[in-house]
């Protein structure tokens, strides 16, 4: 009798194993019935059983396949590891591979890039325009409070870069990430600063970096631009930098700076106010941050645009006047010498 029962048990185990193998072979290793790649979204909080039911409702898995799929996940103790998000499922994917994809969390990543030199208004316009970012914020005035930094001015506080994120990312999540990245980059630059700077805080370095960013797009010039401003700050001279005036003018700026603009009443007008403006005027990149705290060793106190994107740097006002005559008034250096001879 014992032998009969033992034989029956062996046959039952073999049958169960055979059934399990058949389910695995026929329902978990055959490709899904897809004619093309599929975008599939797992909603936040969805369980494996709910996902399996949805896959069955969409006829991506039949009942035996859905049952085997759930059993496999539980057998591997991975049923609780699936992650919400939007996925790209290749048409050759098998149910077993689909489970691996959902557990690995390989969601579709979207991107948003904003360049060095953008201001906060431009950044927010790009964030609000992105179709995959969930909009939760109101007007720009209340944004910093909702981000958790009520007393902080937003200008210059977000690091310019290309950010990847899944669909459903909120504007708050995106901005918090860019803010923390700027904090990280700013502190990294500040910790490697020169000892003789006329800058008391990392925030002052951020303000200076924003001006440097707006003054030139030529990478190798940034330390020279920084040197001019650092020397002027040390000498208690006016910075006299056009980008701060443009920022002060705001929407009134029409592309040209006139003499009357240089007299505009604003704390950002560095033609009438000594020292740094009260806040950054743009979002500086890594190179500008580093230049602000590591200016070049230069005697230059002036620079003028040469018309090709670069600048001519001068140590004396007389030399600077000659450079202005040559590059802005399109006259020769010989005429400059004649001008100053009289």
- Name the nearest CA neighbour of 95 among 32, 49, 23, 21: 32
What does the pLDDT read at residue 340? 57
Q: CA 247 to CA 261: how far, in whole Å? A: 11
Q: For all residues of the chain together, what is the average pLDDT?
A: 88
Burial of 97 (0-12, 13-18, 19+ CB in 10 A): middle
**Those residues with Cβ within 8 angstroms of residue 198's Cβ, 6 or more apart along the chain or in another chain:** 230, 233, 234
What does the pLDDT read at residue 26? 65
Q: CA 331 to CA 335: how far, in whole Å? A: 7
Residues of the chain with pLDDT under 50: 2, 5-22, 342
- Name the nearest CA neighbour of 164 among 85, 280, 46, 51: 85
Q: Count other Cβ atoms within 10 Å, centred on residue 155.
A: 21
What does the pLDDT read at residue 326? 85
**Those residues with Cβ within 8 angstroms of residue 114's Cβ, 6 or more apart along the chain or in another chain:** 122, 123, 126, 158, 160, 161, 283
Q: Which pair of structure tokens corresponds to residue 272?
A: 């009438």
What does the pLDDT read at residue 44? 86
What does the pLDDT read at residue 18? 42
Q: 281: part of which helix (H) or strand (E)? A: none
What does the pLDDT read at residue 328? 78
What does the pLDDT read at residue 19? 47
Q: Count other Cβ atoms within 10 Å, centred on residue 1.
A: 5
- Coil, strand or helix at 33: coil
Pairing of strands 133-134, 169-170: parallel
What does the pLDDT read at residue 87? 94
Q: How far apart are the first and last CA of the chain?
A: 129
């Amino acid at each position: 009798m014992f032998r009969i029962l033992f034989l029956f048990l062996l046959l039952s185990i073999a049958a169960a194993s055979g059934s399990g193998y058949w389910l695995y072979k026929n329902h978990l290793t055959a490709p899904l019935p897809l004619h093309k790649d599929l975008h599939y979204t797992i909603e936040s909080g969805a369980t494996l059983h709910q996902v399996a039911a949805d896959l069955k409702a969409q006829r991506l898995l039949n009942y035996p396949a859905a049952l085997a799929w759930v059993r496999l996940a539980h057998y591997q103790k991975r049923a609780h590891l699936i992650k919400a998000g939007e996925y790209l499922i290749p048409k050759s994917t098998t149910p077993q591979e689909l489970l691996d994809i959902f557990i690995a969390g390989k969601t579709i990543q979207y991107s948003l890039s904003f360049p060095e030199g953008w201001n906060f208004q431009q950044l927010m316009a790009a964030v609000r325009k992105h179709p995959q970012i969930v909009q939760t914020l109101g007007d720009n005035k209340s944004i910093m409070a909702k981000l958790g930094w009520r007393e902080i001015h937003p200008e210059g506080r977000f690091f310019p870069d290309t950010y990847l994120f899944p669909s459903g990312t909120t504007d708050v999540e995106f901005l918090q990430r860019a803010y923390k990245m700027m904090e990280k980059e700013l502190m990294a630059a500040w910790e490697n600063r020169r000892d003789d700077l006329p800058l008391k805080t990392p925030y002052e370095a951020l303000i200076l970096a924003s001006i440097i960013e707006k003054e030139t797009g030529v990478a190798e010039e940034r330390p020279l631009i920084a040197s001019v401003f650092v020397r002027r700050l040390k000498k208690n001279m006016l910075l006299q930098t056009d980008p701060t005036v443009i920022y002060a003018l705001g929407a009134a700026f029409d592309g040209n700076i006139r003499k009357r603009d240089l007299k505009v009443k604003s704390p950002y007008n560095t033609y009438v106010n000594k020292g740094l403006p009260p806040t950054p005027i743009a979002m500086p990149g890594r190179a500008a941050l580093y230049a602000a705290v590591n200016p070049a060793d230069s005697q230059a106190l002036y620079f003028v645009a040469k018309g090709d994107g670069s600048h001519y740097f001068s140590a004396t006002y007389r030399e600077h006047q000659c450079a202005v005559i040559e590059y802005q008034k399109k006259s020769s250096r010989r005429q400059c010498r004649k001008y100053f001879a009289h």
